Chains A and B, each alone.
Chain A
Amino acid sequence: MQLSRREFLKLAGVSAAGAALFTACSIPEKELLVQSPARIPEDVLDGDESWYASVCRQCPAGCGIIVRVMEGRAKKIEGNPDYPVNRGKLCARGLAGVQALYHPDRIKGPMRRTGARGSGQWQQITWDQALNDLVGRLKQLRGSAADTVVLAHEPLRGPMSLLVDRFTRTYGSERLAYEPMDQAALRAALKTAFGEDVVPEFDIQNASYVMSFGADFLETWLSPVRYNRHYGEFRQGANRKRGTLVHVEPRFSLEAANADQWVPVRPGTEGVLALSMAYVLMSDGSADARAAASITAGAGARALASFSPERVESVIGVPAARIQELAREFASHQPSIAIGGGSAAAHTNGYTNMLAVYSLNYLVGNVGKRGGVLLNPASPLKDVPATSGATPFSAWQKLVERLRTGQPKPVNLLLVHGANPLYGLPAEVNAGDALGKAQYIVSFSSFMDETTAQADLILPDHTYLESWGGDVPEPGPGHQVVGLQQPVVKALYDTRAFGDVLLTVAEEIGPDMAKALPWRNVREMVRDSVRELHQARRGSVTAAEFEVFWNKALQQGGWWDSNARSSASPTAPIFSKPPALPRYAGSAPEYPYHLVIFPSLSMTDGRGAHLPWLQALPDPISTVVWRTWVEINSKVAKQMGLVEGDIVRVEAPNGKSIEAPVYPHPGVSPEVIGIPAGQGHSSYTNYAAGRGANPLSIIAPLTDAETGGLAWGATRVRVSATGRRMPIPKFEGGAVEARQLPGAPVAPVTRG
């Protein structure tokens, strides 16, 4: 919009009037007119802005975004106010997305390795050369029985999952999804507990009482923006009583800080606490009878007698009286919800831990009720899954063995997209060594991460702000949602969308592949997959013509139907086996501390470490930035003679160790050492490489007994001083305290 000259002068007049409020003395009006004509000079003209709706890809939650674009440049990401998952809100990681797009260290075009593997010597090639190379190999390998092609990728859902699945199935290759902080146990337990493939919606905003067992739902867990929205309402929503939050976790996390009660249990015993509460509820008769009967296969409270508060108090480190109190509060403050995850699911008993936790919801009769656990409906799109299963760690262990030994089948071609196993897998499995033996590695990464640095050929993908895509968010908001992702700017470099590359390659491999994947590009595939929504004539977008439907849906950021809810009414799961106690790597006398690793609020499991805004974002509790720190209880640190910034060696029973400075922490339990994941990259751009340490690298490769998920919370460690120190970069202590001289009066500022 342009201001007329007349308007301009009028504004100037308003500004001059503002000067009357000036406190010191009045400013000559003329001066303001000359020097500050209209408020602030840069605001006089508005540039044209456009906003495009899309989907955030910074974590698996899949929030809806709108991106402000001016002159072909993406300026700012905000939450899509209409999108049901996050309703206009975003998290720090989502807001930082423009830095991924404009990152100075992006891979700008296809490259082929020239020096030795990992030497960092590359030659730029054309897309024709790159595709010829890949197609040639895939053609040659296809059908030769002893040879294999493996595609490793991030957990996928929505149309991309369909594409990758058809590609690998038709070609005859295997695929594995990688997730460094393995959630296999949690997913499997949710599936058993609620009888559904998709993660349910936890209706925290309408609950009176929330008990969280290790779930970092305000930071990175499942759908954190959604849960933060819920949390605000839960505390101070209109026309409701303030909700009570209890958090059970050995480490003092952001959730512990926000909770009304924090219950520091011994790591891995969260499920035992849940069962003990179940026992209390069943024996005093306050438990839902049907649920109690089904959980114990008809045997009732007796079946859980070995979990009575008196018998478990010393195991879990919570007094019996407190367990009883928690159980009673959980039953009497209705509606209540129990959720669990994070480190509580990352133990050798992770699955049973989670099953016990989620069963509590049945005992208070809150499954399928407002303020309880609401089941999510299945995906509205045929063939397009809403759930993204990751492959458990045990399968990755097998793949590493196969790479190393060539048995039972060699891996001739390893394709990697969106996965960085070399950074995330524990050093003990020696993935680096094994990867060195892979015959040929092709990476589709936009950045030179650790795994990509070992590749032979790089076919860089667009970033998500340059790509087409679709999503069926998991967890959904309790009803059907399909998100649409569209490029908001033209591709900056000579990169190509991973999906488009797969489609091109498929066509060249053979007619059967071309038939199974009949689309020219991802955009067309997404368009095709939402045609059934158009035909359904329901939900937020309806139109007679498909073209109109498609454009409207793109403008809105997707399609949803708040009436399409789940009608399932599951029954409580049976505990076929009594939940086991956790097993730890290392003995208590030699390795006195539990290592509790937690995803960094800003960098999560490490994927955000390349963005300067996220590196520079203070941890909310320690306020540390740019580095790894070691949380040791302040009193313990004092006894050990450690002060802030002393570098310690944290050593696991397998001999692996990392070094990082100490942050004496008043909140963490004396038995626990807390270290954030996310740092310790050897590659992954100049902002990430060579800073901090990666605690995931030292853990023992223990697994959850039921699912084979990585028990990343089960390693014990010892700590020793190195004698060296470093200043810890952090935000706290930045402001100089205005000190009040004793006895001196405060002179209030007064208006002249």
Chain B
Amino acid sequence: MADRKWVMVVDADRCSGCEACVVACQAENNLPINEEPSFLQHRAFEWIHIERYWEGEFPNVKARFLPLMCQQCGNAPCEPVCPVYATYHNNEGLNVQVYNRCVGTRYCANNCPYQVRFFNWFEAVWPETLKNHLNPDVTVRSRGIMEKCTFCVQRIHRKSRLAKKEGRDLRDGEVSPSCVQACPTDALVFGDVTNKDSKVAKLVEDKRNFHLLEHLGTEPNVIYLKKVDPNARDASGH
């Protein structure tokens, strides 16, 4: 089986900032409930969140939205600093977190330039009844563990095993992380970039493409497409 390379394309020109992706992720991945104090302490968990940037002032004001999640770097700064190899690279281009190895040094979070890793300072608690909707495919992380966006690895595996059972390859679009599945504007697109016919393989060639913090050389597997601003001063419309 040829190695896959999973890529997410984020089209900032499509994203409306509706935040469906945020709840979709929390519902799929058993994220702890972010109570009010966790925000005040800057300890809220959002594997994907919408970063909002202000530009200008009234009346020529703009707010820009950028969905931000683990960039699944091809050259990930979080990996070499982990003393126990809890975070490593798999053969599908994913930056994987092995919860039962993590000892909570938080070196990885410290070294992540995108600030998308989250540390469990406390044991996650749910009221008894809300535990009913926890996803059995995803570990509930305990105190002292680092976590982050996994590209919904459990969904990738479920579909891969199904394809295998049916003796076929995965179809393009068959696997989608929860945020991608929900995103109503199709701002988020996911797929195997080594499949030349896939939607992502075409989108990554778009001339609006860029990486976040490109200069750091982290080679992210999340590729952004620039927001188009027809009123911007430079004539290129970007």
Contact = CB atoms under 8 A, between A and B. Distances in A.
29 contacts: A1-B165, A22-B89, A39-B96, A39-B153, A43-B137, A46-B158, A47-B137, A76-B27, A76-B28, A92-B19, A102-B131, A231-B16, A235-B185, A242-B228, A254-B17, A257-B62, A257-B64, A260-B229, A260-B231, A601-B18, A612-B130, A618-B19, A618-B22, A620-B50, A621-B17, A635-B57, A667-B54, A731-B44, A749-B75
Secondary structure call for the A interface: loop
A232 B184 contact: yes
A602 B19 CA distance: 9
Given A36-B98, A78-B182, A666-B61, A46 B161 contact: yes
Most chain A CB within 10 A, of B130, B134, B165, B182, is at B182
A21 B90 CA distance: 7
Nearest to A601: B19
B192 interface: no
Interface string B50-91: 101010111101111100000000011101111001001111
B215 interface: yes
A232 B129 contact: no
A315 interface: no
Contacts of B212: none
A616 B26 CA distance: 11
Contacts of A106: 129
A738 B34 CA distance: 24
A104 interface: yes
Size category, B interface: 35 or more
Contacts of B35: 612, 616, 626
A738 B16 CA distance: 27
B157 interface: yes
A707 B99 CA distance: 60
B216 interface: yes
B194 interface: no
B100 interface: yes
Interface stretch (A189-197, A222-230, A298-306, A467-475): A222-230
Place the interface of chain A in its size category: 35 or more
Nearest to A252: B61
Given A95-B27, A104-B130, A232-B16, 7 more contacts: A24-B82, A46-B158, A74-B133, A89-B182, A232-B186, A232-B187, A618-B22
Interface string A538-555: 000000000000000000
A228 B153 CA distance: 27
Contacts of B165: 1
Interface core residue of A98, A102, A732 (most chain B CB under 10 Å): A102
Given A40-B96, A90-B20, A231 B185 contact: yes
Interface of A: 1, 3, 14-15, 17-19, 21-24, 27, 31, 35-36, 39-43, 46-47, 70, 73-79, 86, 88-92, 95-96, 98-99, 101-104, 106, 218-219, 224-225, 228-229, 231-233, 235-236, 242, 244, 252, 254, 257-258, 260-262, 264, 492, 601-602, 612-614, 616-618, 620-621, 623, 625-627, 633-635, 666-670, 691, 727, 729-736, 738, 746, 748-752
B201 interface: no
Contacts of B14: 231-232, 235-236
B161 A257 contact: no
Contacts of B120: none
A730 B131 CA distance: 26
Contacts of A40: 96, 98-99, 139, 153-154
A32 B116 CA distance: 25
Given A76-B28, A224-B18, A751 B75 contact: yes
A666 B59 CA distance: 9
B234 interface: no
B58 A242 contact: no
B54 A103 contact: no
B24 interface: yes
B88 A18 contact: yes
Nearest to B73: A749
B212 to A, nearest CB: 12
Contacts of A260: 229-231
Contact of B63 (A35, A47, A99, A252): A252
Contacts of B167: none
A65 to B, nearest CB: 11
A240 to B, nearest CB: 13
Contacts of B229: 260
B232 to A, nearest CB: 10
B211 interface: no
B217 A229 contact: no
A557 B74 CA distance: 41
A103 B129 contact: yes
A417 B223 CA distance: 48
Contacts of B46: 618, 731
B168 interface: no
B124 to A, nearest CB: 13
Contact of B101 (A35, A235, A602): A35
Contacts of B27: 76-77, 95-96, 98, 613
B44 A236 contact: no
Contacts of A613: 23, 26-27, 33
B233 interface: no
A15 B100 CA distance: 16
Contact of A264 (B44, B59, B133): B59
Contacts of A625: 34, 36, 39, 44
Contacts of B127: 104
Given A73-B132, A78-B181, A620 B18 contact: yes
Interface in B31-52: 33-37, 39-40, 42, 44, 46, 49-50, 52
B80 A75 contact: no
